[in-house]
Homo-oligomer: A and B are copies of this chain.
Amino acid sequence: MRRHQRRRGSPERETGEGMSQHPHLFSRYCMHCGQRLISAVPEGDTRRRLVCFDCGFVHYINPRPVAAVIPVSERGEVLLVRRDIEPRRGTWVFPGGFMDLGETAEEAARRETREEAHLEVGELKLLGVYTRTAPGIVLIVYEGQAIGTPSAGHETSEVAWFAPEAIPWGSLAFDSTVAALRDWARKHGHPVPDDLPSPADL
């Protein structure tokens, strides 16, 4: 899903360290009635939430699911795409993106693979779930046999196949990218560096 340019009040604001935060952390107004939200502990709850004292709406801030696929070729290579968007423009990641309401995780993973790499994938096998707590992202990663020939899609400047021993560990996008590819490699008996680099986890 493309995030378009915003003039002001960007929900993907970056701090000085470049750390993305959840866009709803900046909420000030009730999305139901437009009144100011107040920070308070709702009845029966244990944590402070953003509450509308006018209409009673509680603005729970939910982490956001991202669905992704590690496409694998017949030769056992994995497809990565080079990010052409911030954060971490220029680094490598497998295809994936925010789920839309109305689609399943598998459907979202296939759609994103189609959009970013013009590629179809066969049966999806669940590899793992990886939480990035700061921006509130829950990454759901599948692996699947690649069908067809990929090419760079939107949000992507380049696509490339990597043999398991040639995965560019030092140029991956996020900690969750490293963790998922590490789990994929170990699952299939491929070598993984002892000292895996930890990218700035945006």
Listed in ascending order, the chain A residues whose CB lies under 8 Å from chain B are: 1-11, 22-37, 42-47, 52, 55-65, 98-106, 126, 128-129, 131, 133, 136, 138, 140, 154
Contact = CB atoms under 8 A, between A and B. Distances in A.
A62 B60 contact: no
Given A7-B56, A27-B31, 12 more contacts: A2-B42, A4-B45, A6-B57, A7-B55, A24-B31, A26-B32, A29-B31, A47-B100, A61-B101, A62-B101, A63-B65, A129-B140
Nearest to A104: B131
Contact of A62 (B6, B44, B47, B99): B99
Contacts of A27: 31-32
Contacts of A36: 34
A129 B126 contact: yes
Nearest to A8: B55
B56 A32 contact: no
B29 A60 contact: no
A44 B105 contact: no
Nearest to A30: B29
The CB with the most chain B CB atoms within 10 A, among A47, A62, A98, is that of A62
A64 to B, nearest CB: 4
A51 to B, nearest CB: 9
A141 to B, nearest CB: 10
A62 to B, nearest CB: 4
5 contacts: A2-B42, A9-B57, A10-B56, A62-B98, A104-B131
Contacts of A31: 24, 26-31, 37, 59
Contacts of A126: 126, 128-129
A57 B6 CA distance: 7
Contacts of A104: 131, 133
Contacts of A63: 64-65, 99-101
